[in-house]
Amino acid sequence: MLKNSTILVTGGTGSFGNTFIPMTLEKYNPKKVIVLSRDEMKQWEMAKKFEGDSRVRFFIGDVRDRERLYRALDGVDYVVHAAATKIVPTAEYNPFECVKTNVMGAMNLIDACIDKGVKRVVALSTDKASSPINLYGATKLASDKLFVAGNAYSGEHGTQFAVVRYGNVMGSRGSVIPFFMSIRDTGELPITDTRMTRFMISLEQGVELVWHAFADMEGGEIYVKKIPSMNVTDVARVVAPEARQKVIGIRPGEKIHEQMVGEEDAFFTYEYAEHFKILPQINEWSTSPERIKDGQRVPEGFVYSSGNNTEWMSDAELQAWIDTNEGKIGKI
């Protein structure tokens, strides 16, 4: 599907884009990959990695700028929407800015993709959009709803929209593993709550879920990858076995456990070998055989949380991942 196509990645200089683009170039050999972002320095740094590869193009722009999106989407077949204001405390203290990017930006992109005849769009979501308790999660839930409903707006244009949702990305900038690694020499690691658990997914797995969504989608699905959980205290112990763990209390907007499928979603959620699929509640799409395919509906009251997960990552598995990826942890 992506072979010989033109793909645009919003927020493409972030952790996801730095992994998605080289993996997609190697696997699918697209005609062109356009990186849209607003940070010229990150683009300059990223461009050095692809020097001499005419397939990779860079486009300064912001999803808040509707007119710029129309220009960027000329001739584009597929879009991955990774641009977002993502840091929970930043969103709490700058709520207007978070809404402008995560909600208004989503609306701009949906309209522009429909009008420019884009074939398929996959938007990245987060566990925090499931039963949100912070502004970031609330804006991403709104964004998810917008992309789902976008399929009803595309009409004869035929643009299809879907969403992928996953939790803590191991080793990405600002995440817990590089944070613990950066301060482990102090001999003390802060733990917000000893009960806290997190889903563990690699960037490569996130990319593969996006590829699957592009191939499988009919429009309106939310794809949730099955991934293992780990207690944050265990993560800290693996990263710094000798360090003391100091409990500092939960930060504003933080959850004890991550959740990717809520109880209210269970009525519309189907299980597959490697993922779950939350189907749209509107337009009777949740009963569409084309969307359900070979899925089995989950039981009533089902919740997919990092705390009630049936799959857990061991200390040895995390250590093996760190040993393999140490050179790039926290750098993309």
Looking at the domain assignment, is residue 103 inside a domain?
Answer: yes
Phi (first) and psi of residue 199, to 5 degrees: -70, 150
pLDDT digit string, tens, across residues 211-225: 999 999 999 999 999
Give every CB contact of residue 295 below 8 A, 6+ residues apart in sequence.
270, 271, 272, 277
Q: Is the pLDDT of residue 119 over 70?
A: yes
* Distance between CA atoms of residues 103 and 141, nearest Å: 9
CATH of the domain at 289: 3.40.50.720
Enzyme catalytic residues: 128
* Domain membership of residue 210 as a residue range: 6-168+202-226+260-305
Specify whether the CB–CB gap between 160 and 121 falls below 8 A: yes
Helices (H), the chain: 15-28, 40-49, 66-72, 88-93, 95-99, 105-115, 135-153, 176-183, 203-216, 232-239, 289-292, 315-325
Q: Is the pLDDT of residue 251 over 90?
A: no
Which residue in the block uniquely carries the two structure tokens 């493409």?
12
Q: Is the pLDDT of residue 237 over 90?
A: yes
Mean pLDDT of 235-258: 91
Q: Is the pLDDT of residue 253 over 80?
A: no
Looking at the domain assignment, is residue 25 inside a domain?
Answer: yes
Looking at the domain assignment, is residue 173 inside a domain?
Answer: no
pLDDT of amino acid 87: 87
The percentage of residues in the chain with a pLDDT greater than 90, rounded to a whole number, is 88
User: Of 12-16, 145-149, 327-331, which gets the smallest average pLDDT?
Assistant: 327-331
pLDDT of amino acid 156: 80
* Distance between CA atoms of residues 306 and 150, nearest Å: 30
Domain count, the chain: 1
User: Of 31-35, 160-164, 253-257, 275-279, which gets the smallest average pLDDT?
Assistant: 253-257
pLDDT of amino acid 206: 95
Looking at the domain assignment, is residue 311 inside a domain?
Answer: no
- pTM of the entire predicted model: 0.95
pLDDT of amino acid 95: 96
* Distance between CA atoms of residues 30 and 27, nearest Å: 9
pLDDT of amino acid 18: 93
pLDDT of amino acid 70: 97
Q: Is the pLDDT of residue 62 over 90?
A: yes
Q: Which residue has the higher pLDDT, 87 or 165?
A: 165
pLDDT of amino acid 250: 87
Looking at the domain assignment, is residue 47 inside a domain?
Answer: yes
pLDDT digit string, tens, across residues 147-204: 999 999 988 889 999 999 987 788 887 788 999 999 999 999 999 999 999 999 999 9
Looking at the domain assignment, is residue 58 inside a domain?
Answer: yes
Q: What would you report as the CA-atom Rg of the chain, rounded to the nearest whole angstrom?
A: 20
* Distance between CA atoms of residues 65 and 199, nearest Å: 34
Q: Is the pLDDT of residue 99 over 70?
A: yes
Mean pLDDT of 26-32: 97
**Buried b vs exposed e over 44-75: b needs ≥16 C-beta within 10 Å?**
eebeeebeeeebbbbbebbbeeeebbeebbee
pLDDT of amino acid 157: 81
* Distance between CA atoms of residues 216 and 160, nearest Å: 11
Looking at the domain assignment, is residue 80 inside a domain?
Answer: yes
Mean pLDDT of 287-298: 96
User: Of 89-93, 123-127, 313-317, which gets the smallest average pLDDT?
Assistant: 89-93
* Distance between CA atoms of residues 252 and 250, nearest Å: 7
Looking at the domain assignment, is residue 253 inside a domain?
Answer: no
For residue 289, the tally of other CB atoms under 10 A from its CB is: 7
Q: Write down the mean pLDDT value for the chain.
A: 94
Assign 331 a pLDDT band (cuts: 50, 70, 90).
Answer: low
